[in-house]
């Protein structure tokens, strides 16, 4: 077992409802079949735990409405905790290890658009690549409306979704440039998450 191994990290982002989780779960199975150990963490889970411990929120859709200063504090904490966790997992792993971080490159807050991967976060994560999962705005809105477990009315409008998708490319590229990560746009077409997953697998193979 090698101590102090740096985990190879990939950031995966996309609008809520774009199908990140579906694509990742298929990609993960394929990579594990090739002998690569894959772990996925959700950035929002880390922020949520941090904020719930302080009694500041009860659910994840409250996070983006908190005062920005508090979101920033939770965001920084999440970045640090994820890097520590993945390095520890990689150190214990005999096989090649890839840690995926499911997150957002852009958050729509009451104070304006806010980067999900500012310098203090991206420099902790130091991802090899940032994957932006994309689908048609109409499909994304339909999926969000179908998801009764989440409150996402603030994202459920085709025109807004289009605007956000354009902005997300800009934010993904900006974050990647800070640490020299590659950027990939992964198309998750309706009914074909396997095609998107293949794209993810081929990127990981070439890292
Ligand atoms: P999710 O379930 O992936 O939509 O994440 C839940 C919430 O966590 C999001 O709505 C955001 O408020 C917050 N969040 C997730 N990733 C980030 C990030 N990188 N920076 C800031 N907030 C984030
Ligand atoms: Mg998801």
Under the banding of pLDDT at 50, 70 and 90, the label for residue 76 is very high
> Ligand 1, closest atom to CA 44?
8
Whole-number Å distance, alpha carbon 43 to ligand 1 midpoint, is 6
**Per-residue pLDDT, 124:** 95
Angstrom distance (rounded) from CA 187 to CA 183: 13
- Whose CA is closest to 93, among 135, 38, 157, 14? 38
Residue to probe by mutation, ligand 1, list 9, 12, 42, 44, most atoms within 8 Å of CB: 44
Contact 122, 175 (CB under 8 A): yes
Residue 75 belongs to a domain: yes
Residue 131 belongs to a domain: yes
State whether the Cα torsion 38-39-42-47 is positive or negative: negative
DSSP-based three-state secondary structure for 82:
helix
CATH number at residue 81: 3.40.50.300
Q: Return the percentage of the chain with pLDDT > 70, whole number.
A: 96
pLDDT over 60 at 53, yes or no: yes
**Per-residue pLDDT, 155:** 65
Whole-number Å distance, alpha carbon 32 to ligand 2 midpoint, is 20
Question: Which residues form the domain of 154?
Answer: 8-206
Domain total of the chain: 1
**Per-residue pLDDT, 144:** 80
Angstrom distance (rounded) from CA 170 to CA 191: 27
> Ligand 1, closest atom to CA 105?
19
**Per-residue pLDDT, 151:** 65
Mean predicted lDDT score pLDDT of the chain: 93
**Per-residue pLDDT, 109:** 87
**What number is the average pLDDT over the span 184-202?**
96
pLDDT digits (tens, 9 = 90+) for 94-137: 999 999 999 999 998 888 999 999 999 999 999 999 999 999 99
Residue 155 belongs to a domain: yes
**What number is the average pLDDT over the span 170-189?**
98
State whether the Cα torsion 56-59-60-63 is positive or negative: negative
Under the banding of pLDDT at 50, 70 and 90, the label for residue 43 is very high
Ligand with minimal distance to 118 CA: 1
Residue 30 belongs to a domain: yes
- Record the pTM: 0.92
Residue 47 belongs to a domain: yes
Residue 67 belongs to a domain: yes
pLDDT digits (tens, 9 = 90+) for 146-178: 877 776 666 678 998 999 999 999 999 999 999
């Amino acid at each position: 077992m090698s101590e102090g191994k740096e985990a190879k990290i990939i950031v995966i982002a996309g609008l809520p409802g774009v199908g990140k989780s579906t694509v990742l779960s298929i990609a993960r199975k394929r990579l594990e079949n090739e002998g690569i150990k894959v772990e996925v963490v959700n950035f929002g889970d880390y922020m949520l735990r941090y904020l719930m411990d302080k009694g500041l929120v009860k659910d994840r859709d409250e996070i983006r409405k908190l005062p920005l200063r508090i979101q920033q504090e939770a965001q920084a904490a999440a970045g640090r905790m994820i890097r520590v966790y993945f390095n520890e997992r990689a150190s214990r792993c005999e096989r090649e290890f890839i840690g995926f971080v499911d997150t957002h490159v852009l958050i729509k807050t009451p104070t304006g658009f806010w980067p999900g991967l500012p310098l203090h976060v991206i420099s902790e994560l130091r991802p090899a690549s940032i994957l932006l999962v994309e689908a048609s705005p109409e499909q994304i809105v339909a999926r969000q409306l179908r998801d009764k477990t989440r409150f996402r009315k603030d994202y459920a409008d085709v025109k807004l979704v289009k605007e956000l998708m354009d902005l997300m490319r800009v934010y993904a590229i900006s974050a990647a440039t800070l640490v020299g990560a590659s950027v990939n746009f992964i198309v998750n077409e309706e009914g074909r998450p396997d095609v998107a997953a293949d794209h993810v697998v081929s990127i990981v193979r070439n890292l």
